[in-house]
Chain A
Amino acid sequence: MKLLASIFVLFVSMSASADNVVVINKENKTELSLSDIKKIFLGRKSSFSNGDRIRPVTLIEGNEVRKVFNQSFLNKSEAQYTGYWAKMSFTGRAVPPAEFANSEAVKEYVSKNGNAIGVMDEQSVDDSVKVVFKF
């Protein structure tokens, strides 16, 4: 776990100039590794370490931040992402992340929901949310 935490910190540091982020509620004290974040947005991890159910949210199809996140972090094109979630939802395995029109809406949702985690652009970040990953 220490190694993973170190890799996480190193990655965040190295990515300091990135424009996009993953955020959680500012009151959420959970530590998340890159692997955790990837699993959350692929429906493979549904609860935080304290047992609370996670509510992932992302941006709508066509949004550039979502596209970069899906391609560079989840390793899926938009078509692969849609196909993946068709598989997951039509088999009852998981529900896809809720989608919002812009980063302001993601920030507002995450700031009001203690178990939320969202994808957004860094410019819209303020102290109502906590950044856990930059990309």
Chain B
Amino acid sequence: MTHIFKLTALTLAVITAPAISNDDIKISGFGSIVGGVVLEGDGYWARMPEAAGQYVSGLELKTESRVGVQARYAMTEKTSITGQVMLRGINEFKPDMEWLYVSHHITPDWKLNAGQMRLPVYHFSDYMDVGVAYPWLRVPSDAYSLAVTNYQGASLQYSLDYDWGWSNFQLYGGQQDTNPNKLLNVIGQYELEQVYDDNGKFMGVRDIQRTKDYKDMKGLVIDTHVDNFALRLSYLHGREIFTHYLPGDYPESPLYGGEWGRTRFIDISLQYDNGKINAIAEWNNYQGIYTSWFASFVYRFDRVSPYIYYTTFESELRGIAPGGAKAGFESFVDGSIDNDYNTLAIGARYDVNPRFAVKVEWLNFNDVGDAAVFIDQNQDGDTDSQAFFVSLDFTF
């Protein structure tokens, strides 16, 4: 409650005063207050970073709400330091240093960054927390499921400017440890560790621990804009180690995992935006783990922008039997798919003023796979749901 009070005070203070700016230092920020209710089903979880997006009962206003404050200090004409602090409802609004990196313009077209930064795998990776920068209430989450969002390392960017458009090339490398990996923890808890009493009442989840470390990550992003079209290609490869511990076993006795393996992630997006119509499709593949994609159409009527999107996720994992974990396990080779689901969403954005936007969204989550994605009162692995959301996005 104290954190909520502090957050409210901070938010009011910063949005009622202009952003601090002079030639060398600029402080600015953004935020979203997101509320949601479950209309049908046992609950809905948009599997966002930090395991945010969990909605069970009543009007939930905390899980996805967030505020970010960014400071940029220009040390010289060519060199600057950028830090971004995030306060997320899912983390009780405790401040976390999200990014901290130094940028150096080698030339106006070549830029070197080093520090902790956002892993630029998706089209909206860099600004998925900045609600005012995109039309939806949240980025279509079924297609944004990678369990690592930031990395420590360096990136080299080159901007190529030509008569009919521009391209940006980004080469990056680094590593990141996630212990615990909050997203994978919660996925595992609802897949495998739901607890019910003798009357079938949901009692919670067991406290497993999952970790995932990433090393030797090397990636390339090519982002090209020609007229109203944008094509973005992203490739990442490296090594990762995943470890799963049962309750009480951490850190001595992992149940499974603990071996380094090679990994590869590819993402492709194509966008058309003429100011009125915004259409985008994005597809990605995490080698040996899953494929996901989304397609969206937005039409802007002055201040109001209605939208629709469809997004789907299909894993390659086949360990859980049809009927969910209580039904047991099946062949990892020819069993049926554990995680296979899709979401259809309809919503609208209303620009109250250039710095404030109100959004509403209704969605239908359709769970096709064997594993439970969230609370599963019937214990049959089927966690379909419908939910309604409203958000206020702002920047200052």
Contacts and interface: CB of A to CB of B under 8 A. Distances in A.
Interface of A: 1, 4, 33, 35, 39, 44-47, 51, 53, 61, 75-84, 86-87, 89-93, 95
A92 B81 CA distance: 10
Contacts of B303: 77, 79
Contacts of B103: 92
B351 A79 contact: yes
Contacts of B261: none
B351 A90 contact: no
Contacts of A87: 126-127, 130, 133-134
A51 B108 CA distance: 7
By secondary structure, the B interface counts as strand
Interface stretch (B45-53, B157-165, B202-210): B157-165
23 contacts: A1-B163, A4-B163, A39-B161, A53-B77, A75-B274, A77-B351, A78-B353, A79-B132, A79-B353, A80-B300, A81-B354, A82-B354, A82-B355, A86-B30, A86-B130, A87-B127, A87-B130, A89-B72, A90-B84, A91-B118, A91-B126, A92-B72, A92-B117
Among A44, A92, A95: residue with most chain B CB under 10 A: A92
B395 interface: yes
Contacts of B105: 53
Given A4-B163, A95-B26, A46 B302 contact: no
Of all A-B residue pairs in the complex, the 4 with the closest CB atoms, nearest first, are: A47-B108, A79-B351, A91-B126, A87-B133
A53 B108 CA distance: 6
Contacts of A39: 161, 166
Among A80, A87, A90: residue with most chain B CB under 10 A: A90
Contacts of B113: 92
B248 interface: no
B357 interface: yes
A75 B275 contact: yes
Nearest to A82: B354
Contacts of A91: 118, 126-127
A93 B113 CA distance: 11
B118 A79 contact: no
A46 B159 CA distance: 9
Nearest to A90: B130
A78 B300 CA distance: 13
Interface string B346-370: 0000010111010000000000000
B159 A44 contact: yes
Contacts of A76: 275
Interface string B94-133: 0000010101010111000100011000000011001011
Contacts of A93: 126
A47 B109 contact: yes
Contact of B166 (A44, A79, A90): A44
B163 A35 contact: yes
B339 interface: no
B26 A51 contact: no
Given A53-B108, A82-B132, 15 more contacts: A33-B163, A44-B161, A44-B225, A46-B108, A46-B109, A46-B159, A47-B107, A78-B353, A80-B300, A82-B355, A83-B357, A86-B130, A90-B28, A90-B30, A92-B103
Contacts of A46: 108-109, 159
Contacts of B225: 44
A126 to B, nearest CB: 26
A80 B275 contact: yes
Interface in B259-315: 274-275, 300, 302-303
